Amino acid sequence: MTFLNSSLELPCGQIIKNRVCKAAMTERIAHGDNFANRKHIDLYRRWGQGEIGILLTGNVQVDRTNLEGPANVAVEESTYKEQLPFLKEWAEVATAEGSQLWMQISHAGRQTPGEINMSPMSPSDVQLKMPGRKMGKPIPMSEDDIQDVINRFVFTAKIARETGFTGIQLHSAHGYLLSQFLSPDINKRTDAWGGSIENRTRIHLEIIKKCREEVGEDFAISVKMNSADFQKGGFSPEDSLEVAKILSLSGIDNIEISGGTYEQPRLLGLDNVSINPERSEVRKESTIAREAYFLSYAEQISKSVEIPLMVTGGFRSKDGMESALADGACQIVGIGRPLCANPYAIKELLADQIEELPKYEKTLSIGPWLLSPSSPIKLIQFLNAFSAQAWFYQQIKKMGAGDMPDLSLNPFKAFRNDAKADKEAYSEYEKS
C-alpha cells in the first residue's frame, strides 16, 4: 500500500478512498441560464470512473450578476429548483464509483468581466486593470451586501448537500471575492471587515459557521486559499500562514494551497508572465525546482495546523506525490490539467501502469522558434500561455459533449475556438 492509495478520514468523518483530488477547473459549459446541464453529467461521469478520491467542481457561482465567466453554473434561491434534477444526476454519476464530489462555491467580485457587470461588488473600489479585457469599476460592498453574500454562500452549500454532493469548497484564492477581502492591496476598508488580518478573515468565519449549521457536522467543508498573491503589497505568505491558523480552528476539514491572481498567473505555473511585472515577486530557483509549485509553503503551514492540507499545481510524477505525502507536507495532492487530456490518468497511475503524468503543458506551442513559449517576445509568451489554457478548456468541452479528448488539437486553433465559444456564451448570457 502506497501513500497515494491509502484512505484518509477527514475531521467530519468522511472517508476519502485515496489521496488524489481532481482540482477545480472552471468547466465553462453552462448555457445562458447558468444552470447545470447534461454536459456536466457526461463530463463528471468520466472523471468519476477514474478512481479519483475527490472530484472538485469548477467554481459554482452564488450570484449570477457577479460571475467569473458567462458559462459558469450559478445556484441562486430564485432559480435553483429548475436545475435540481441536473445537480442530483451530476452528484449521482460522479460518486457512483466511490469518489467524493465537492462543489466549489465562488463569487467573482471585481474579477467579473465587464460584459457581465460594469459595477461588480468588491470590498473596496480598487479596479482590476487587464490589457485587452473590459473590467468594471467595483462598488464597495455595504453591510447589507456582505450579509447577502454570506447568505448566498450558505444557500448554495445547502443545495449542494441536498442534491448529493459530499462537500463544498469555499474559493478564496486566485483573486476572487473572498480572497479580495484577504488582500490588503484590494481591501481598503476601515470597518469590521478590513484592516487587521482577523477582520479581513471575518467573512470566511461567518460563512463557515453558518454553512456548518446548515449542512451538519458530517459534511466536508474546505477552503482554497493562496499561499501568496506574488505581488508586492498584496497577500503575503506571512498573512496566509496567519489566515490558515485562524481557519483551521473554524471547524473546516481541509485547506487547499494554491497561489496567484489574474495579474500574476502563478496558478498556471507561469513565472515569466505577469500583467504588472514591476509589482511581481519572483520565486527562487530552488523553489521552482520542486515539482509542486506551492509545496514549500505547505511544509511551513503543516507545522501550524492539524487539519489535512491539499497542494495543487505542478505534481506530475508518482514519486513526487508519494514524497510529498510521506514527508507530511500535505495529505492530499491536487491534479488538474492532466485530467483534461486523460480522465483516467490517476487510475493508470495508481495501478502502476504509468509512473508519471504527461506534461502536456510543456509540449503545447503555437509555432516553432520565435512563436514558441520560450520566445523573448512577451506578446508571444502570453499568446502561448493562453492558447495552452484554451487547449485544456477545449478538452473539457469535448468530454462534456460525450467525446474523448483530442490530443492532436492545435493550441492556436484551440485559442480561436475558445474565443468564439466565449463570444457565443456572452451573447447567450445577454439574451437570458
Is 432 a domain residue? no
Average pLDDT over residues 210-230: 90
Confidence (pLDDT) at 200: 97
The pLDDT, as a whole number, for residue 260 is 58
pLDDT value of position 258: 83
Q: Is residue 424 part of a domain?
A: no
Range of weakest confidence among 221-230, 265-274, 292-301, 348-357:
265-274
Identify the pLDDT of residue 313.
84
- Percent of the chain residues topping a pLDDT of 90: 80
pLDDT at residue 105, rounded to an integer: 98
Does residue 295 surpass a pLDDT of 90? no
Identify the band that residue 285 occupies on the pLDDT scale cut at 50, 70 and 90: very low
If we measure between CA atoms, which residue out of 342, 343, 340 comes closest to residue 46?
343
**What is the rounded distance in angstroms from the CA atom of residue 205 to the CA atom of residue 250?**
7
Torsion, CA 373, CA 376, CA 378, CA 384, rounded to 10: -10
Task: Domain count for the chain, please give it.
Answer: 1
Residue 111 lies in a domain: yes
Give me the phi and psi of 150, to 5 degrees please: -55, -50
Domain that holds residue 289: 8-357
Cell numbers 447568505 correspond to what residue?
151
In the prediction, which pLDDT does 235 show?
73
Q: What is the pLDDT of residue 177?
A: 98
* Residue 266 within any structural domain of the chain: yes
Residue-level pLDDT at 268? 46
> Residue 152 CB: number of other CB atoms within 10 A?
21
Among the listed ranges 41-45, 227-231, 251-255, 393-397, which one has the minimum average pLDDT value? 227-231
β pairing state of 15-16 and 8-9: antiparallel
Of 200 and 236, the structure prediction assigns the larger pLDDT to: 200
Query: What pLDDT sits at residue 314?
Result: 87
**What is the sign, positive or negative, of the torsion defined by CA atoms of 419, 423, 429, 432?**
negative
Cell of 340: 483534461
CB atoms within 10 A of CB 284: 8
Per-chain mean pLDDT for the chain:
91
> Does the pLDDT value for residue 283 go beyond 80?
no
Q: Is the pLDDT of residue 254 over 50?
A: yes
In this predicted structure, what is the pLDDT of residue 186?
A: 94
Q: What pLDDT shows up at residue 41?
A: 98
pLDDT tens readout for residues 354-396:
999 999 988 999 999 899 999 999 899 989 999 999 999 999 9
Place 238 in a pLDDT band, splitting at 50, 70 and 90. confident
DSSP 135: B
Output the CA angle 213-218-220, nearest 5 degrees.
Answer: 85
What's the rounded Cα separation, in Å, for the pair 430 and 70?
Answer: 9
Q: Percent of the chain beyond pLDDT 70?
A: 91
Task: Read off the DSSP letter of residue 11.
Answer: T
H-run or E-run covering 152:
helix 143-162
Residue 112, domain member (yes or no): yes
Question: What pLDDT does residue 281 have?
Answer: 47
Q: With 50 as the cut, is the pLDDT of residue 414 above it?
A: yes
Taking every pair of C-alpha atoms in the chain, what is the biggest distance, in angstroms?
A: 57
Q: What CATH number has the domain bearing residue 198?
A: 3.20.20.70
**Is the pLDDT at 328 greater than 50, yes or no?**
yes
The answer to whether residue 65 scores a pLDDT higher than 70 is yes
- pLDDT greater than 50 at residue 271: no
Burial 68-89 (b: 16+ CB within 10 A, else e): bbbbbbbbbeeebeebeebbeb
DSSP-assigned beta bridge partners for residue 139: 121
Is residue 406 domain-resident? no
Mean pLDDT of 395-404: 97
Note the pLDDT of residue 364. 95
Work out the average pLDDT over 130-156.
94
> Is the pLDDT assigned to residue 267 strictly greater than 60?
no
Cα–Cα distance list, 283 to 228, 269, 312 (Å): 11, 11, 17
365 in any annotated domain: no
Would you say residue 233 has pLDDT above 90?
Answer: no
Q: How many helices (H) and strands (E) does the chain have?
A: 14, 13
pLDDT recorded at residue 320: 93
What pLDDT does residue 280 have?
43
Q: Stretch 166-192: mean pLDDT, rounded? A: 96
Residue 404 lies in a domain: no
